[in-house]
Chains A and B, each alone.
Chain A
Amino acid sequence: MASLLFYILGFIMLTATLLCITRRNPVHAVIYLVVGFFALALMFYLLGAPLVAAWEVIVYAGAIMVLFLFIIMMLGLAPQELPEGPNWHRWGPLVLLSSSLMACTLLLIFQDPAATEIIGTYYLAPQELGEALFGRYALAVEVVSFQLLFASIGAYMLGRSLPKEDDES
């Protein structure tokens, strides 16, 4: 069962990301990417890492993709005129992919959690993940926190207004 789901999810993920990078309309591309992230989250769940699956949905499919959409809207990259007619070829693939994703999700939800077989060899409980992060990988967590600071300084440097030419005269 689980391995069958794995292949279905893999297919959904690959198709969605492939469609994502081939779409001309950036909004469509983002929607396909969201589908890809959801499939990835389910895959993490199947592999025995429920916390990572939740993060995938909350952080990537949720926060980051909303930010993407927001920037696309703000920069006015989305096409202005709406095409005529039902346009099956445009949203048909999306409906197929997301409904099969929905089916997989429902299947996993209504299954008894104790009976769910996982593909991975190890079930990663959230507590263990936390212990690893702040024990074995403590230094890495610290360096990441430094790095966020550097990255924000860099973004500020590149994003702020240019120095005036006539300042020095």
Chain B
Amino acid sequence: MNDLVQNALLNVNIAAILPSLILVCFGMGLLLINVFLPRGTTRHAVWISLIGLAVTGFFVYTGWGNPQYGFNDAVAMDNFAAFFSITFLVCAALTILMSDDYLRREGYPVSEYYPLILFATAGAMWMASGTDMMTIFLGLEVMSISLYVLAGFFRGQVKSNEAGLKYFLLGAFSTGFLLYGMALIYGVSGSTRLTEIGVYLKTHASLLDNPMTLAGLVLLSTGFLFKIAAAPFHMWAPDVYEGAPTPITAFMSAGPKAAAFAAFLRVMEYCFFTLKPEWTAMLWVLAVLTMVVGNVIAIRQTNIKRMLAYSSIAHAGYVLVGMVAANEIGYSGILFYMLAYTFMNIGAFAVLVLAGKKGEDNLTLEGLSGFGFKKPFLGVAMTIFLFSLMGLPPTAGFAGKFYIFAGAIKAGYIWLAVIGVLNSAISLYYYLRVMVYMYFRDPEEDYAWVAMPGAVVVTIIIAIAGVFYLGIMPGEVMELAKQAVF
């Protein structure tokens, strides 16, 4: 009995989960503080969550280059996890900054919103640092359950309810696939540790043709691809992104997507490196399908939130190209791209928050007529983010796409890179159309735009700084990304 306790304590390594632990503690502390404050006060929650994210970021930063493994190898806080953690923290911080004024405007000044974002971020960090199927699965669940609630946060709005319920039902369904895949892989290999599975599959090569292994691999991929919103598992994304509160849409399209990529990448690289030709062939097809479906359907959208949802599907396709490449530059390109995408996408959604009217989001293309002249700062900011989403230099989007396609070419997938570039060309059409409406149309009616609160402006300025920093000087961050991949 004593042995048992001692063994369990020996395996505890708090350093391996310190960042997420701090974040969760801040979240729970915030919940406790909320009890003693009157309903409707939210300013303190914004500050406390931002401080929590900063402290967490500090501990992630100090842990760089000093990988920590703990809990019997259930979790690994290595450079890979640290890089992704920084992405999630940036994503959460920008989301929280732009949320407060939006929630007040819409009449939901509820402070429980902020702990839920912190918990979702902690879940994402567990996904990125998990080296055990259980840790990854539970991280995914923590993240998803917080997001289901956040997507349906505006309970008085039918669209938000629809988004929450749809995300919940389809998310639960996809989790079933993921769990089934994990169970089959566990059945084949007898372990849930990623490295042990990889070694077992390598030493028992006959298992690679076993239908159970392949079925497990396919089901596992399905679960992750659903979270990534890759075609043909993308159907939920436009409805959920449209209905969810705009800051949450921004959060969902960047942070959790990056988390799913992180876990997907680690599982594939640790467990199934022996099956690489099989899964790269599978992802090749899915990458092309995702890029084409996202970009072609985005052309037809008149609601900007829906358009950005399809554009986010297309971007998932570009990132999958990096996974198909499966070499150092492709993988580090993924890490770089997810960080760049966080800045540009959250920036674009922050502009949309300020484009709205009270009680009603103003999200159609028509509604943005003349926006660029009425609000010059927001117009220029939106233009920068759209240029970055298109992938034009000198923005972060260009550098990210450059690395990913370079990885594909280096791995010999010339055609995949060509298809990717062609898809970027298609995307020019619908991004440019937003600019045409902003600058070349006169507003049909003159209405009062919402005021520009300082916090959202700060969000936009940080996002612009990020886009230009990653676009003009991508070398430093790319160097860190290269240290982070396996």
Interface residues of A, Cβ cutoff 8 Å to B: 131, 134-140, 143-144, 146-147, 149-151, 153-154, 156-158, 162-163, 165, 167-168
Contact = CB atoms under 8 A, between A and B. Distances in A.
Given A135-B7, A150-B119, A157 B145 contact: no
Interface stretch (B150-158, B289-297, B340-348, B399-407): B150-158
Given A147-B142, A153-B115, A163-B107, A139 B149 contact: no
B28 interface: yes
A138 B40 CA distance: 38
Given A135-B72, A167-B40, A140 B138 contact: yes
Contacts of A138: 8, 11-12, 71-72, 74
Contacts of B134: 137, 139-140
Interface in B66-92: 70-72, 74-75
A25 B448 CA distance: 54
Given A139-B75, A140-B74, A153 B116 contact: yes
Nearest to A165: B107
Given A146-B122, A146-B142, 8 more contacts: A134-B4, A138-B74, A150-B116, A150-B142, A153-B112, A156-B112, A158-B149, A163-B109
B74 A154 contact: no
A120 to B, nearest CB: 11
Main secondary structure of the interface of A (DSSP, over half): helix
Main secondary structure of the interface of B (DSSP, over half): helix
A48 B254 CA distance: 44
B31 A153 contact: yes
A169 to B, nearest CB: 11
Nearest 5 A/B pairs, CB to CB: A154-B149, A139-B71, A140-B134, A143-B138, A139-B74
Contacts of A135: 4, 7-8, 11, 72
Contacts of B112: 153, 156-157
Interface in B379-437: none
B349 interface: no
Contacts of B149: 153-154, 157-158
Given A154-B145, A154-B149, A137 B155 contact: no
A163 B72 CA distance: 46
B146 interface: yes
Contacts of B102: none
Given A153-B31, A163-B110, A136 B142 contact: no
B242 interface: no
B343 to A, nearest CB: 27
Nearest to B73: A136
Contact of A157 (B8, B132, B153): B153
B126 interface: yes
Nearest to A151: B145
Most chain A beta carbons < 10 A, residue from B40, B149, B152: B149
13 contacts: A131-B4, A138-B11, A138-B71, A146-B24, A146-B122, A151-B145, A153-B116, A154-B148, A156-B112, A157-B149, A158-B149, A162-B155, A167-B40
Contacts of B153: 157
Contacts of A146: 24, 119, 122, 142
B108 interface: yes
A58 to B, nearest CB: 22
B473 to A, nearest CB: 38
Contacts of B108: 163
B425 to A, nearest CB: 42
